Chains A and B, each alone.
Chain A
């Protein structure tokens, strides 16, 4: 319990340890803590930025989606129109072709009819002559009555 040189010893030790703490302990710890604070702050900022970026990206995506939908609608419209056009064209072509076929068939029928008529006519002439010969009992001069028979045949 006496005051003695321990007092001075403690003072000296105290100054030495303050110096040691100041030189070797305090600066690295405080620096590391400040760095961590900064990193956390940076991280939070980055997170904020990322959130904004995400929002922007989402907006952009929505915009692009909308425009793509519009474009698609336009394309579908055009395609529909074109399809209708093609159908119409095909119908027109089919109609024309049908008409053509009908016309040619009719021509053929007409041809056949006239051909048959001719045939009939010639056969009628022959039959008429044969009939007339039989009725008259004599032959008819083919040349003398040719004009008359032809006139008859033309009337048929």
Chain B
């Protein structure tokens, strides 16, 4: 167990901190560009820095998703499906059923959007099932061989435990919500939706008075969608990751706690399989629902 190795040279809190820090590339205070040596340095880099590890894994997993599905789509037949085509078709059909059930409007964008989110988020979450030290340790060896200080090689492998990734995805969904709302309802329709609900009156003066509270409520409602979407995924996966890290520390203490820790790890991993699939599904379904709401031109609530 690599955790044992760690606990000799690191305290538990250092170990945890190390595991929860991204490998960040950005501009230092003195002007040169490079990888941050600590979480504090990464913070100083401000907004224009990039988490190379999570961003890289995120793009790699999306590419993996695209590669798998594209390879099936290329040689797909309408004869009896075999092997991977069965799996891909099952996923596609699941998405198609859900979209048809929840999204009664015409938009060829929604189903591919839902498929991308579902598989991508699932893949990102599934990275959590790899042993917490496996990939970081490999990264450490590579980093050290490239001349880096071993304590400065940060490597987070689960993209959905990085709020940038989950909020970025949610923000993209939010942009689509706004775009489709504007397209379906027009600027006036969208403004009306924001200003004339939930308090409405036939009396025009009362209605005018209600605009400000309506707008505040509806705007919060609108913003809450992407924020809750992103933070829900982040929170669940981050918590899961922290528990895996804590169990890994327990494995390094002594033999008895190690055996106990491994059995805990198995239990938590089994339970986590559910969370991985569930969070991917929730993200997908909520996206479809939000898209459906964006297309809803009916004024009644």
List residues of A whose CB falls within 8 A of some B CB: 1-11, 13-15, 17-18, 20-22, 24-26, 28-30, 32-33, 35-36, 39
Binds A, one of B167-175, B201-209, B246-254, B261-269: B167-175
Contact A14 B168 (CB under 8 A): yes
Contact B43 A6 (CB under 8 A): no
Binds A, one of B5-13, B112-120, B128-136, B137-145: B112-120
The chain A residue with its CB closest to the CB of B74 is: A28
Query: With A1-B20, A30-B92, A30-B96 known to touch, is A6 a contact of B165 (CB < 8 Å)?
Result: yes
In whole angstroms, how far apart are the Cα atoms of A32 and B43 in the complex?
Answer: 50
Q: Which residues of A contact B171 (CB under 8 A)?
A: 7, 11
In whole angstroms, how far apart are the Cα atoms of A62 and B42 in the complex?
Answer: 91
Contact A5 B66 (CB under 8 A): no
In whole angstroms, how far apart are the Cα atoms of A17 and B43 in the complex?
Answer: 29
B155 to chain A, nearest CB (A): 15
Q: Which residues of B contact A14 (CB under 8 A)?
A: 116, 168-169, 172
Q: Does B93 contact A (CB under 8 A)?
A: yes
In whole angstroms, how far apart are the Cα atoms of A11 and B88 in the complex?
Answer: 25
In whole angstroms, how far apart are the Cα atoms of A9 and B47 in the complex?
Answer: 12
- Residues 3-36 (chain B) with a chain A CB within 8 angstroms: 20-22, 24, 26
Name the interface size band of chain B: 35 or more
The chain A residue with its CB closest to the CB of B164 is: A6
Nearest first, the 8 closest Cβ-Cβ pairs linking A and B are A10-B168, A6-B164, A22-B112, A35-B78, A36-B78, A26-B112, A21-B112, A28-B73
> How many cross-chain pairs have Cβ atoms below 8 Å apart between A and B?
126
Contact A18 B164 (CB under 8 A): no
Q: Does B277 contact A (CB under 8 A)?
A: no
Contact A6 B51 (CB under 8 A): yes
The chain B residue with its CB closest to the CB of A26 is: B112
Contact A4 B92 (CB under 8 A): no
In whole angstroms, how far apart are the Cα atoms of A6 and B230 in the complex?
Answer: 14
Q: B72 is contacted by which of A11, A22, A29, A36 (Cβ under 8 Å)?
A: A29
Q: A6 is contacted by which of B50, B72, B120 (Cβ under 8 Å)?
A: B50
Contact B66 A20 (CB under 8 A): yes
B90 to chain A, nearest CB (A): 10
